[in-house]
Structure 1
Amino acid sequence: MIVERISGKPLSKYFEDEFLKPLNMQHTYFPQQGTDRELPQPSVTSWLKADNKLTPYTLDNVTSAASEGNIVTTPKDLSTWAFNLYAAKKVLSEQTLRDMIARDDNGQEPASYGLGCDLEPAAIGYGHNGARAAYVTIMRYHPGTHRTYVVFSTFLDVKGLREQIMDMEEVVQQSINEVIKAER
């Protein structure tokens, strides 16, 4: 509501005008209608494993998560977003970006999540994880390789979600290692 009041535009239109068009993210959109449940084609069926039951997902209503999760995108567009946010610095001011990726030690253990940025595990850089029924995504920018890494799955195991995320983080780590090896 704050963005809409200040900009005079619906949130989805603001995002489109300020971020999607300038960054050439042509395959990203923000569903607004509760009836907007189908993914744009081409898309794949995703699967949710819960209570030892495997359920196919072809429809989902993400409008309940306005401004924090009602984004439908592709891995390429997500990589474009990450690169422009963290490397090209076209999204936030330098100070806001520094604040977002700063590690804050509260005296016990470092915070791993600040201003919407996941900082752990540190070896794979910083970015964001996301999950919806039957989808899991990891997006990271790794400053050492100056690259973005996106791993996504169209399968979500409710009981094994933490292990699934750890496996996906390992894929990112292996990819980083291969890039480093190739650049030697």
Structure 2
Amino acid sequence: MDFTETQLSASYFFEGRIMKARLDEVRLPNGKTAQREVCEHVGGVGVLPLDREGNVILVRQFRYPYGETLLEIPAGKLDHGAAESAAACGARELKEETGCTAERMESLGAVYPSPGFLTEVVHLFAALDLTEGEMQPDEDEFVETVRLPIQTVERMILNDEIRDAKTIAAMYRARLAGLFG
């Protein structure tokens, strides 16, 4: 069966710097019509920094939509234009949020955070062979680095202490790729 829904119309009701919101009318596979709310997002990158001692470097920061301080992998938006690749964005975010640079950035694939309404694609990388340096956070960014053993991060995910989807996905993909030894 073909599950494709065909866009009949689109009406934008918000356009911001990193996202746009629209209401679409679509034709369903059975010929009927329905409405779909869509949030278009510029996309992003998440980086799983792994140090030589077997630790993950995470960042702690307040996330306004949830009203909570979260522990997550360094990440950022693909908002520097088409000339910046996902890997370059990841390297930039890693430096800004942790001060680290990576000799190797290994792709861990991409994930769709919430495909029911959001177009965002998050590209995941493992940052390996790290060199420490000075953090360079954006002026509106307040982060603290936290270095934890891989097993501790996995336990925190299992215990629902880490809920950030990109962090969970990156940890799982790194485990499947054999990056944890």
Name the TM-score class by shorter chain. Answer: under 0.3
User: Could you say which structure has the higher helix fraction?
Assistant: 1
Between 1 and 2, higher relative CO (CA 8 Å, sep ≥ 6) is seen in 2
Structure number with bigger Rg = 2
Q: State the TM-score, normalizing by the size of structure 1.
A: 0.27
User: Could you say which structure has the higher strand fraction?
Assistant: 2
Q: State the TM-score, normalizing by the size of structure 2.
A: 0.27
